[in-house]
Amino acid sequence: QKLAQKRAVIKEDLIISFGWWNKKKDVKKPKKSLNYKDPKRASVVEGATYTTFERITFNPASRAHIALRLKQLYGWEPKEFTDKGQPKIDESVLGRLNNPHAKALCEYLLVNKRIGQLAEGDNAWLRLEKNGFIHGYVNPNGAATGRATHAFPNVAQVPSTRAEYGTECRSLFTVPEDWCLLGSDADGLELRGLAHYMARYDKGRYVKEILSGDIHWANVIALGLVPKGTQRDKHNSEHNYVRDEIAKRFIYAFLYGAGDQKIGEIIKTNASPEMQRKIGAKYKKRFLNNLPALKYLLDTVKATVKKRGYLIGLDGRHIHCSSQHAALNYLLQGAGALICKRWLLEIEDLCQANGLTHGWHGDYAFCAWVHDEVQIACRTEEIAKQIGAYCEQAMEKVTEIFSFRCPLKASYDLGLTWADTH
C-alpha cells in the first residue's frame, strides 16, 4: 500500500512536469457537411479535409513516452539504443542526464517494477501464493551452462538486501512460527572457479591470493588503480572505494562477459558512453597484461569455442557456446552450477545420515535454491546450526569430488526471514 501511494504521488508530479500532447491520427475528407448540436463537436464541411488528433497523457511507465518528452521538451539526443532501435531508457541512462526530473523517473520505474513483482504482474508473488506458500518452478538444467532457471515466479529475481526495497521484499519470505531459517551460500564461487582454471598456468598464485591474501586488493593492483606494491589501508577511504566500488564490481562484470562500455561505466560513472568504451577497453587490456595466466586462459577458451563450439564441464559434459565473447563466463558458470548441485546432494545425504527427517512434519525443508545459495527451514535453532555445519562440510566434500584446485567454502547465517540470511 505504501509503495502504491508513493507511485501515485510520483506519477502525478511527473504528469504535471511532462504534460499532455496531441498525436495525429487520421486525415479525413467528408462526403457531406455535418452540423452537430453538441458544442464540443466541430462541424465539418463537404470536401474540406481535416485532421483528427488523440490527446495523450504522459505515462511514466512508458519508456517511449519518457524518450519522446525528453527530446521534445529538453532537446535530449539519445546516444544508446535498444536492439529494436529505440532510445535506451534505464537507470544508467537517466542517471547521466542533467535533468531535474531524471531522479523521479528512476524512482517511478523502480517502484513500478517492485509493485509488479509483488502484486500486479502475471507472476507476482501475491498472485501465486497458496496458503502462505509460493511453489516456484525450478529447472535444474535450464540454462545452456547447466545452471538452473526459475519461473512462476522467478525467485532468483527477488531483489537482494543491497537493492532498494530489497530488505522489505526479502522480509516477506519467512518460516512457520518457532522455526528457524538457515541460509548458506558458496563463498566467492566465481573467483574460486577462476583460480581453479588459472592454476595450471600460474602455479596456484591466484589460489594463494584467495586463501591467504585479499583477492580484491590484488585486482585493484592488477587494474593499476594504485601503484604496484601498495599495501591496503582499511582506514583509507580511497583504498576502500577502489577496492569495493571499482575492483570488486569490475571482476564480476568481467567474468560475466561485460562489454567495454559497462566496464568503463564502473571505472568512470559519469563519462559519456563513447568515453566509457575507451576507458573499459584500456582497463581490460591492462588487467589482462598484469595477469598473464588469465589472458592465456581467456585466449584458450575463446579458441576452443571457435574451433569446436563447446567446452568441457567438470563432469565431462559438453557446454555448447556460440559466442567466443561468452566463453569464459560459460566455463565458470558451468562449473559453479555443477558444484552447487552436488553441494545440495551432499547436504541432503549428511542430514539423512545423521537421522534428520526432510519435510514440514519433520526437521527441515528446503525453501529455495538460487544459484550459489540455499535457504532451509529448520524446526529449531539447534537443528539449523547442525545443518549449517553440514553445509560447510558438504562443500569441502565437493572440493574433493571434482578435484578442485582452489578449496571451496560455504558459510551460513540464521534468522527468521530471507532478509536475515542472505
Looking up residue 295, the CATH number of its domain turns out to be 1.10.150
Q: Specify whether 57 is located in the same domain as 151.
A: no
pLDDT at 272 over 90: no
Phi then psi for residue 291, to 5 deg, are: -130, 75
Q: Specify whether 66 is located in the same domain as 154.
A: no
- The span from the CA of 295 to the CA of 324, in Å, is 14
pLDDT at 135 over 80: yes
Q: Specify whether 146 is located in the same domain as 179.
A: yes
pLDDT at 38 over 90: no
pLDDT of residue 170: 98
pLDDT at 41 over 80: no
- The span from the CA of 312 to the CA of 131, in Å, is 44
* Residue 252, C-alpha cell as written in the block: 564480476
Does residue 196 form part of some domain?
Answer: no
Looking up residue 353, the CATH number of its domain turns out to be 3.30.70.370
Mean pLDDT of 227-234: 94
Q: Specify whether 157 is located in the same domain as 221.
A: no
Residues contacting residue 270 through CB under 8 Å, at least 6 positions apart:
96
Percent of the chain's residues with pLDDT above 90? 88
The answer to which of 256-270, 295-309, 367-381 has the lowest mean pLDDT is 256-270
pLDDT at 96 over 90: no
Number of separate domains in the chain = 3
Q: Specify whether 10 is located in the same domain as 106.
A: yes
Q: Specify whether 141 is located in the same domain as 120.
A: no
Does residue 273 form part of some domain?
Answer: yes
pLDDT of residue 248: 96
Does residue 216 form part of some domain?
Answer: yes
pLDDT of residue 12: 97
Q: Specify whether 263 is located in the same domain as 155.
A: no
Q: Specify whether 17 is located in the same domain as 121.
A: yes
- Residue-range definition of the domain harbouring residue 260: 203-308
- The span from the CA of 303 to the CA of 325, in Å, is 11
Kindly list the distances between the CA atom of residue 229 and the CA atoms of 26, 232, 280, 295, 370, in Å, as whole numbers in the listed order.
Answer: 70, 9, 23, 22, 38
Question: 289 versus 91: which is more confidently predicted?
Answer: 289
pLDDT of residue 106: 96
Percent of the chain's residues with pLDDT above 70? 100
pLDDT at 40 over 80: no
By the 10 Å C-beta count (0-12 exposed, 13-18 middle, 19+ buried), 197 is classed as buried
Q: What is the 3-state secondary structure (H, E, C) of the chain?
A: CHHHHHHHHHHHHHHHHHCEEEEEEEEECCCCCECCCCCCCCCECCCCCEEEEEEEECCCCCHHHHHHHHHHHHCCCCCCECCCCCECCCHHHHHCCCCCCHHHHHHHHHHHHHHHHHHHCCCCHHHHCECCECCCEEECCCCCCCCCEEECCCHHHCCCCCCCCHHHHHCCCECCCCCEEEEEEECCHHHHHHHHHHHHHHCCHHHHHHHHCCHHHHHHHHCCCCCCCCCCCCCCHHHHHHHHHHHHHHHHHHHCCCCHHHHHHHHCCCCCHHHHHHHHHHHHHHHHHHCHHHHHHHHHHHHHHHHHCEEECCCCCEEECCCHHHHHHHHHHHHHHHHHHHHHHHHHHHHHHCCCCECCCCCEEEEEEECCEEEEEECCHHHHHHHHHHHHHHHHHHHHHCCCCCCCCEEEEEECEHHHHC
Does residue 271 form part of some domain?
Answer: yes
Domain stop point among 128, 152, 173: 128
Q: Specify whether 142 is located in the same domain as 116.
A: no
pLDDT at 379 over 80: yes
By the 10 Å C-beta count (0-12 exposed, 13-18 middle, 19+ buried), 146 is classed as buried
Does residue 409 form part of some domain?
Answer: yes
pLDDT confidence bin for 271, thresholds 50/70/90 = confident
**Residues 335-371: pLDDT tens digits?**
999 999 999 999 999 999 999 999 999 999 999 999 9
pLDDT of residue 166: 96
- Amino acid sitting at position 41: R
Q: Specify whether 302 is located in the same domain as 213.
A: yes
Does residue 314 form part of some domain?
Answer: no
Q: Specify whether 84 is located in the same domain as 145.
A: no
Domain stop point among 291, 308, 325: 308
pLDDT of residue 240: 96
Phi then psi for residue 308, to 5 deg, are: -125, -10
Mean pLDDT (the chain, rounded): 95
Q: Specify whether 74 is located in the same domain as 169.
A: no
Does residue 322 form part of some domain?
Answer: no
Highest mean pLDDT out of 16-30, 36-50, 391-405: 391-405
Of 56, 52, 65, 58, nearest to 25 by C-alpha is 52
Chain-centre distance for alpha carbon 53? 42
